[in-house]
Amino acid sequence: MSFKHLFSRSLTAAPDRLHFAAHSHHLWPDASHDGQMAAWADAAHMADHKWGIIMGSLWSAAQGHVASELALPDPSTISFSPNTHDFLVRIISAMDRPTLRILSTDGEFHSFRRQMARWVESGKIVWRQVQPDALAAEAGRNEYDLIFASHVLFNSGRVVDIAPLAALAKPEGPWVVVDGYHGFMAIPTNLTDVADRIFYLSGGYKYAMAGEGVCFLHAPPGFAPRPEITGWYAEFDDLALSPGSVGYAPDGRRFLGSTFDPSGLYRFCAVRNMLEIEGLTTEVISAYVTRLQQQFLSNLNVSHMQIVNPLGDKPHARFLALKGPRASQIHAALAGHHVVTDVRGDVLRFGFGIYQDEKDVDRLHDILKLID
């Protein structure tokens, strides 16, 4: 079984490349090209009036795709932005506290860590990091304004249980923010039972296969009604407000900023439509990827490297992480053989997707034997 025909443009663009970094920059399927061209065509044909489609039928379709994937009860809680960092800043801006107490795991992504560290420098926040296994207990023992955790940790691939965190969340605080970037469309995710209590962030750059510029936020009703960092799109429904007043949309659009590049929305919807036609649900893709991961591990013998996130019977990240002192050396050697992977310190990551097949894994094994 192979799905390479869905990625013909990306694969033929670099035919000698083995791309095992689906967790970092997922290759774009051909459908994303069709979506990009549709964005250009609408801009050409409709000019200023394109926003009627973008904020109308296209926006609703994209919301519907996200809500369907996550089993969210109300698509209107979803808004879109070029990146998840925009949403993080707006969420924090909505917290009316002189100094915020923030708790997170010690395995969060660089952008979050950098922003937290800078706010600690300026005295805006007090920030504590704990190991993932200790997060729920620490959150329950102490009073925090905000609890932040990745659903799937980007470095180790470990899956964090968000249910006990959601149980703590209240409109007056604490707020719980889940970074779903390595979980969305990577592991089956049902947020029905926690949708009224957590914020959930993700985007199209990785497993949604839609590229940059199409990130989203699910914002629970009653939480953060008036972000301080805001743009005019947040009151898009009511531009007739009296001068000087600051209005907000009653739904997820209260977190919007200002004018943005809508092409990512076109790509995202085109990719989701393609997946639906092909019958490629997250469950189906995960099963396919798991078989490739099993094949990779079954014949893997890289000296002085150990698997960090072995396969089991629970939901698993779309990448396998190997830890050891040779991580950077192996990464560089693989690059010399046109194999794309990702390295973070002493952790080497191999990402898997539906643009690979068994022959690619065999070829990867052969190259690893050459360089080991």
pLDDT digit of tens for each residue in the chain (372 aa)? 899 999 999 999 999 999 999 999 999 999 999 999 999 999 999 999 999 999 999 999 999 999 999 999 999 999 999 999 999 999 999 998 899 999 999 999 999 999 999 999 999 999 999 999 999 999 999 899 999 999 999 888 899 999 999 999 999 999 999 999 999 999 999 999 999 999 999 999 999 999 999 999 999 999 999 999 999 999 866 555 667 788 899 999 999 999 999 999 999 999 999 999 999 999 999 999 999 999 999 988 888 899 999 998 888 999 999 999 999 999 999 999 999 999 999 999 999 999 999 999 999 999 999 998
CATH topology for 4-30+280-371?
A: Aspartate Aminotransferase, domain 1 (3.90.1150)
Q: CATH 3.40.640.10 occupies which residues in the chain?
A: 32-275
Q: What is the pLDDT of residue 240?
A: 56
CATH of 32-275, one of 3.40.640.10, 3.40.50.300, 3.40.50.2020, 1.10.1470.10: 3.40.640.10
Q: What is the pLDDT of residue 241?
A: 65
With a CB cutoff of 8 Å and minimum separation 6, the contacts of 323 are 305, 306, 307, 308, 346, 347, 348
Q: What angle do CA 303, 308, 309 make, to 5 degrees?
A: 130
Q: How many CB atoms lie within 10 A of CB 354?
A: 25
The single residue listed with the structure tokens 């099993």 is 294
pTM: 0.95
Please give the Cα distance from 351 to 340 (Å, whole number): 9
* Contact assessment for residue 30 and residue 307, using Cβ atoms and an 8 Å cutoff: no
Q: What is the pLDDT of residue 239?
A: 56
Q: What is the pLDDT of residue 372?
A: 80
Q: What is the pLDDT of residue 245?
A: 82
